[in-house]
Chain A
Amino acid sequence: MANLTIRNLHKVFEGTEIIKGIDLDIKDHEFVVFVGPSGCGKSTLLRLIAGLEEVTGGHIYLDDREITDMAPARRDLAMVFQTYALYPHMTVRKNLSFALDLARVDKAEVAAKVAEAARILELEPLLERKPRALSGGQRQRVAIGRAIVRHPKIFLFDEPLSNLDAALRVQMRLELARLHQELNATMIYVTHDQVEAMTLADKVVVLNGGRIEQVGSPLTLYHHPVNRFVAGFIGTPRMAFLDGRVTAAEASTVSVALACGPEYRLELEGRGLKPGDAVTLGIRPEHIQVCEAQASPFQVTLDVTEHLGADTYCYVRTDSGETLTVRAPGDFSGRFGDRVGLLPDLAHGHLFDASGRAMPKPGAPAQAA
């Protein structure tokens, strides 16, 4: 069992509140990813869980035990650091066994556990080397191995892939997913890379400014962001945001006149909106089609196009000066300065009121806390 419960957690550092009251439940075997822009408090939150920072207010429970004030080593957690934090003066074998040696675990048992971790991570040929003599990916594996040998209740990962090159990052991401399956462990993973968050997580926690913006499965966050911040943070290329004003608001439809020209009607709950309110329409690049200029009331000027092979990302400018990204087919042949029309798929449109809150879609899961 490894259920982690966080209640009203606060952290003040030199007069600045970094964690502003966090409530979170993490269930056994879950792979939870904390994601957010830099400075959002995600690493601090992880370090509070690990016991590396002292809590200013609130409580942390692991199963039935309160661990808020407990020494890090007694919490039954293991952490993989961004910099790997391998002991440079010890061999890989010693790095792996250090925690067990400190706990005075029986020699034979240590050897068995190290051997098992080495097998899982394919580190056997490297056991006698020092970290200096390892590649980035190998160091990463040793760092994970050091966590594995301890059989912790929860694995903590602090941006573990950020020091690897792109190809290795993809490979290690897959290995981590496999490891999660194989160990069937609870994992908490911090990253600023939303692709890692989307691909690895059972549950994503989006943090911003020391608060939780939204918690949910990757697809929930993608399809039903609760506010403009989450909508903009999840998904690449970024969601396009177009300013407009409400022209009509009813229980299940809202009409919006965009500053860049066209007027659209969206199937959304319009309660709380009234005509004249400032709103923002959000549409993901993959939910906009490019067409001939005459075929749409929404006309834009083509800026730069990036051909990725399967897709083409078109950066376009509206007549009111907003820039947005549109995903076109790979053989799209527009040129700089062309006028094109856009056909947004309004079923996938999001509407945010002036405070950034998303208007709920009919039939969407309850969003209220």
Chain B
Amino acid sequence: MLTLKQTRRLRTLLLGTLAWLVALALFFPILWMILTSFKTELAAFASPPELWFRPTLENYLHIDERSDYFHYAWNSVVVSFGSTLFGMLLAVPAAYSMAFFETRRTKGTLLWMLSTKMLPPVGVLVPIYLLFKQFGLLDTKTGLVIIYTLINLPIMVWMVYTYFKEIPRDILEAARLDGATAAQEICRVLLPIAKGGLASTVLLSLILSWNEAFWSLNLTSSSAAPLTALVASYSSPEGLFWAKLSAVSTLACAPILVFGWLSQKQLVRGLSFGAVK
């Protein structure tokens, strides 16, 4: 007979092992991608797949060989940081207004913002495409920044709003009694208190913009194409560049993975529109 303590320890061991196995299975594609990125093209295509191989940095060193990697990476950086910046500039004041100057319309406005997120992109693909063509925004970073700002704005407003809502009104009222102007109230009291929440909102926006792959595939071709589009270009069957593809993919995903890991808890709030915290 096992004692209660032993059963418990055994159960923890079994459940822990199971959890590790599940996690490894889900993580395997990413792991395999990273491993492949250190193989030669030949080894990458080997059948059966080689588990033990001599790692090479060749793919990373010549990452620019098949395609202008840095051009695409730069586009991704500009577009995600640009849209995040504009998104925050729009979202923070809007969230402030709704959180602290609540009116009868506030709730309706919030839900309406949310509902714009429900609009399937294909519903407006054609007009956006034609409008972009009309205004010369096709295949421009400006165009993508505009689109990403707008599609992420509802989530950002919601997220910032829930963080602002958690700040006791009393603190802002105290600042008002202390003689703070609206600007001082925001800059010296509100924003410093909410900085953690704002940071995770920025991260979520960066992640969503970086990974967005509907508009980037449809509205860009080369000069403004971000990494999502670069990776998609590897889908054409001409030539086998799996190791390079893996290296490009690994580089494209690494920063976002790290962002995601760093802010996993706070992201839940944004991803569930505040319904789960």
Residues of chain A having any CB pair with chain B under 8 Å: 14, 50-52, 71-74, 77-79, 81-89, 98-99, 102-103, 146, 150
Query: Is B62's CB within 8 Å of the partner chain A?
Result: no
A-B contact pairs, 9 of them (CB 8 A): A52-B177, A73-B178, A73-B180, A79-B174, A83-B168, A87-B175, A89-B192, A146-B178, A150-B178
Count contacts between A and B, CB distance < 8 Å.
58
Taking CB atoms, residues of chain B closer than 8 Å to A73 are 176-180
Residue of B nearest to A158 (CB): B170
- A87: B residues at CB distance < 8 A: 171, 174-175, 189, 193
Across the interface, which residues of B come within 8 angstroms of A14, CB to CB? 104
Answer whether A82 and B170 are a contact pair too, CB < 8 Å, given A89-B192, A89-B193, A102-B184: yes
Residues in A with CB closer than 8 Å to B184 are 102
| Interface mask (B154-189 → A, CB under 8 Å = 1, otherwise 0) | 000000000000001011011111111000100001
A150: chain B residues within 8 A (beta carbon): 178
Q: Assuming the A-B contacts A88-B193, A102-B184, are A52 and B176 also in contact, with contact meaning beta carbons closer than 8 angstroms in the complex?
A: yes
Contact status A85-B178, CB under 8 Å = no
Q: Give Cα distance in the complex from A87 to B177, angstroms.
A: 13
Bin the interface of chain B by size: 10 to 19
Top 10 nearest A-B pairs (CB, nearest first) are A85-B170, A99-B178, A73-B179, A85-B174, A81-B170, A89-B192, A102-B179, A85-B171, A72-B177, A83-B170
Q: Which residues of B contact A72 (CB under 8 A)?
A: 173, 176-177
Which residues of chain A are within 8 angstroms of B104 by Cβ–Cβ distance? 14
B171 surroundings in chain A (CB, below 8 A): 85-88
Q: Tell me the smallest distance from the CB of A146 to a CB of chain B, in Å.
A: 7
Query: How many angstroms between the C-alpha atoms of A265 and B184 in the bound complex?
Result: 67
- A80's nearest neighbour on chain B, judged by CB, is B174
Chain B residues within 8 Å of A50, by CB: 173, 177
Cβ 8 A contact of B179, one of A82, A83, A103: A103
Determine how close the nearest CB of chain A comes to the CB of B252; give it in whole angstroms.
36
- The interface residues of chain B lying within 8 Å CB-to-CB of A52 are 173, 176-177
B192: chain A residues within 8 A (beta carbon): 89
Chain B interface, DSSP helix/strand/loop, else mixed: helix
Q: A72-B176, A89-B192, A150-B178 are in contact. List 17 more A-B contacts (CB 8 A).
A: A14-B104, A52-B176, A72-B173, A72-B177, A73-B177, A79-B174, A81-B170, A81-B174, A82-B170, A83-B170, A84-B170, A85-B174, A86-B171, A87-B174, A87-B175, A98-B175, A99-B179
Known interface pairs A85-B168, A85-B170; A77-B177 also in contact (CB < 8 Å): yes
Chain B residues in 8 Å Cβ range of A79: 173-174, 177
By a beta-carbon cutoff of 8 Å, the part of chain B in contact with chain A is 104, 168, 170-171, 173-180, 184, 189, 192-193
Query: Dominant SS at the A interface?
Result: loop
A103–B192 CA distance with the chains assembled, in angstroms: 20
Bound complex: CA A82 to CA B173 (Å): 12
Q: What is the CA–CA distance of A72 and B170 in the complex, to the nearest angstrom?
A: 13
A-chain residues with CB within 8 Å of residue B173 when the two chains form the complex: 50, 52, 72, 79, 81, 85
By a CB distance below 8 angstroms, the chain B residues around A98 are 175, 178
Which residue of chain B lies nearest to A98 when distances are taken between CB atoms in the complex?
B178
Closest to A85 in B: B170
User: Given the complex of chains A and B, what is the CA–CA distance between A98 and B179 in angstroms?
Assistant: 9
Measured CB to CB, the nearest residue on chain A to B171 is A85
On chain A, the residues within 8 Å of B179 by CB distance are 73-74, 99, 102-103
By beta carbon, the residue of chain A nearest B168 is: A83
A86 CB contacts on chain B under 8 angstroms: 171, 174
**Whole-angstrom distance between the alpha carbons of A310 and B20 in the complex?**
65
B178 touches A102 (CB 8 A): yes
Q: How far is the CA of A198 from the CA of B12 in the complex (A)?
A: 59
| Contact among B168, B170, B180 for A102, CB-based, below 8 A | B180
Q: Once bound together, how far apart are the Cα atoms of A77 and B173, in whole Å?
A: 13
Q: CB-CB < 8 A to A71: which residues of B?
A: 176
CA distance A50 to B170 in the complex (A): 12
Residue of A whose beta carbon sits closest to that of B174: A85
Chain A, Cβ-Cβ closest to B189: A87
Bound complex: CA of A48 vs CA of B181, how far in Å?
19
B26 CB, min distance to chain A CBs, angstroms: 38
Complex contacts, A51 vs chain B, CB 8 Å: 177
CB distance from B249 to the nearest CB of A (A): 40
The residues of B that contact A88 with a CB separation of less than 8 Å are 171, 193
Nearest CB on B from A259, distance (A): 48
Task: Please name all residues of chain B whose beta carbon is closer than 8 Å to the beta carbon of A81 when the two chains form the complex.
Answer: 170, 173-174
Q: Smallest distance from the beta carbon of B102 to chain A beta carbons, Å?
A: 11
**Bound CA–CA A14/B105 (angstroms):** 13
Min C-beta distance of A187 to chain B, whole Å: 15
Cα distance A150–B176 in the bound complex, in angstroms? 14
Minimum C-beta distance from A7 to chain B (A): 23
Q: How far is the CA of A14 from the CA of B193 in the complex (A)?
A: 30
Q: By CB atoms of chain B within 10 A, which of A87, A88, A150 has the most?
A: A87
* A320 CB to nearest chain B CB (Å): 48
Query: Across the two chains, which residue of chain A brings its CB closest to B191?
Result: A89
Least distance between B71 CB and chain A CB atoms (Å): 41
Residues of A within 8 A of B178 (CB): 73, 98-99, 102, 146, 150
Complex alpha-carbon distance, A304 and B135, angstroms: 84
Could you say which residues of chain A place their CB within 8 Å of the CB of B193? 87-89
CA distance A71 to B185 in the complex (A): 14
A149's nearest neighbour on chain B, judged by CB, is B178
Give Cα A81 to B172, complex, Å.
11
Q: Which residues of A contact B174 (CB under 8 A)?
A: 79, 81, 85-87, 146
Which residues of chain A have C-beta atoms less than 8 A from B170's C-beta?
81-85
Which of B104, B168, B176, B179 has the largest count of A CB atoms less than 10 A from its CB? Answer: B179
Taking CB as reference atom, which chain B residue is nearest A97? B178
Chain B's nearest CB lies how many Å from the CB of A162?
13
* Chain A residue nearest in CB terms to B104: A14
